[in-house]
Amino acid sequence: MPNKIDLKGLSLEELERFVTDHGEPVYRGHQLFHWIYGRGATTFAEMTDLPITLRARLAERASIGALAPLGREVSQDGTRKYLFGCADGRQIETVLIPDEGRLTACLSTQVGCALACAFCLTGTMGFVRHLQTAEIVDQVLALQRDLQPGERIGNLVLMGMGEPLHNYDATVKALTILAHPLGLAYPPRRIALSTVGLVPEIVRLGQSGLPVNLAVSLHAATDELRDRLVPINRRYPLKVLMATLRAYPLPSRRRLTFEYVLIDGMNDRPEDARELVKLLRGLRCKINLLPLNEAPAIPFHRPSRERVETFQRILKAAGLLTTIRESRGMDISAACGLLVTAGAEKRLDTAGHLA
């Protein structure tokens, strides 16, 4: 028997081509797209508005792949962390975070990560592989299947394992499906993509016409410090990154988000806050301060609440919109930067290199 084609991961145009190649009218492609993504179908048998003969033929030739749910942990604060298995046996984590009556889904885009930020556990895994479009989209479908009555996912954030812009093509295709009204129908303003600052891909994203929110993991306001914390800064230094962001086509009434992990004695001094004010002057933006989430393999510490608040006060006094992001799901290692699978955790030395 010929290998079945997996329809999950195909765009609307690709599904239309698939059906017309098989002698079916183009609107069957629409129907398949809506069944697979809009309604989360996992079999052709349930596609009741398709002729039975067509359903049977589809089942012979095609499949609808799905991640295997391997585990779910629930934090004291209600955060849920899911472990999913991919077809090749690799594993990924996805987090569902309750927040004021709605849920935010935090999606992974790669197994591991190549960027090796000095304070991030996912980075210690190294880069294993990119996720496919289907694997990114299916995280949301799998979460939706697990919702309790009355629960709804309000926001999607690409802030799990991996660097979404390093996996540009699969990520942007997944976003298109997630945002498509016939697909999962998440409005782009309810989707945020977080990047370490890959300049060429930020430019491409701006040109893509996909108005998702952009978050940039900054963590330092000088090259000297950022080179150490976020090694990709050596390739795309702050001058280049900030010029790119200043030119980014922000939709009206939107702001860029900057993430800044606060590390005790490293980047949390009042002068660091003042450098940050200078760097961001005039940009339509908001800043999320993330007090470091600690783990044995991370060679840094979280600053005291007082230092965090002093840092925030300096930013606020300069007119910068600033929030302190509370860690969620700490007790189940679901918090920012703590996602890691399959025992790949290694130790980092203080320069951020693998020991």
Report 252-291 residues binding ligand SAH (CB under 6 A).
Answer: 259, 261, 290
**Closer residue to ligand SAH in complex, CB, 31/109:** 109
Report 70-109 residues binding ligand SAH (CB under 6 A).
Answer: none
Mapping DSSP to helix (H, G, I), strand (E, B) and coil, where does residue 33 land? helix
Report the chain's terminal Cα–Cα distance, integer Å. Answer: 49
Active-site position among 16, 24, 93, 163: 93
Q: How far is the CB of 294 from ligand SAH (least distance, A)?
A: 7
Tell me whether residue 106 is one of the annotated catalytic residues: no
**Closer residue to ligand SAH in complex, CB, 132/217:** 217
| Cβ–Cβ < 8 Å for 288, 327 | no
**Closer residue to ligand SAH in complex, CB, 133/194:** 194
Q: For residue 119, state whether it binds ligand SAH (rule: CB under 6 A).
A: yes
Q: Which of 12, 66, 142, 159 binds ligand SAH (CB under 6 A)?
A: 159
Contacts of residue 319, Cβ cutoff 8 Å, sequence gap at least 6: none
Which residue's beta carbon is nearest to the bound ligand SAH?
A: 337
Contacts of residue 173, Cβ cutoff 8 Å, sequence gap at least 6: 9, 11, 133
Contacts of residue 6, Cβ cutoff 8 Å, sequence gap at least 6: 62, 63, 64, 65, 134
Q: How far is the CB of 74 from ligand SAH (least distance, A)?
A: 21
**Closer residue to ligand SAH in complex, CB, 31/293:** 293
Alpha-carbon gap, residue 232 to 235, rounded angstroms: 5
Task: Work out the number of other CB atoms within 10 angstroms of the CB of residue 59.
Answer: 14
Alpha-carbon gap, residue 131 to 195, rounded angstroms: 16
Between CA 246 and CA 253, with CA 248 as vertex, the angle to 5 degrees is 95
Size of interface with ligand SAH, in residues (CB under 6 A)? 17
**Closer residue to ligand SAH in complex, CB, 241/292:** 292
Alpha-carbon gap, residue 6 to 61, rounded angstroms: 9
User: Contact region for ligand SAH (CB under 6 A) — 113-121, 172-180, 246-254, 309-317?
Assistant: 113-121
State how far the alpha carbon of 57 is from the alpha carbons of 4, 51, 60, in Å: 11, 10, 5
**Closer residue to ligand SAH in complex, CB, 10/298:** 298
Query: Which structure tokens are listed for 41?
Result: 């179908």
| Cβ–Cβ < 8 Å for 151, 100 | no
Q: Which of 142, 143, 174, 292 binds ligand SAH (CB under 6 A)?
A: 292
Alpha-carbon gap, residue 234 to 150, rounded angstroms: 47
Tell me whether residue 73 is one of the annotated catalytic residues: no
Q: How far is the CB of 196 from ligand SAH (least distance, A)?
A: 4
Residue window 295-334: x/- pattern of binding to ligand SAH, with contact defined by CB under 6 A: ---x------------------------------------
State how far the alpha carbon of 256 is from the alpha carbons of 104, 214, 220, 265, 280, in Å: 19, 6, 16, 27, 11
Q: For residue 195, state whether it binds ligand SAH (rule: CB under 6 A).
A: yes
Report 198-237 residues binding ligand SAH (CB under 6 A).
Answer: 217
Q: For residue 241, state whether it binds ligand SAH (rule: CB under 6 A).
A: no
Q: How far is the CB of 20 from ligand SAH (least distance, A)?
A: 38
Catalytic positions are 93, 336
Q: Under the rule (CB under 6 A), what is the footprint of ligand SAH?
A: 117, 119-120, 159, 163, 194-196, 217, 259, 261, 290, 292-293, 298, 336-337
